[in-house]
Amino acid sequence: MHEMSIAMAVVEQVEQAAREHGRGAVAVVRLQVGELAGVVPDSLAFCFELACSETVLAGAELAFETVAARARCRPCEAEWAVGMPPDLTCPHCRGGQVDLLAGRELQILDVEWADGPAYAAADQEG
Binding positions for Ni(2+) are: 2
Let me know: does 66 contact 26? Beta carbons within 8 Å. Answer: no
What contacts 14, CB < 8 A, 6 or more positions away? 26, 29, 56, 57, 108, 111
Neighbours of 102 (CB within 10 A): 15
Task: Point out the annotated binding site for Zn(2+).
Answer: 73, 76, 90, 93
Task: Point out the annotated binding site.
Answer: 2, 73, 76, 90, 93
What contacts 89, CB < 8 A, 6 or more positions away? 95, 96, 98
Backbone angles phi, psi at 60, to 5 degrees: -70, 150
Q: Which residues pair with 31 in a beta bridge?
A: 64, 108
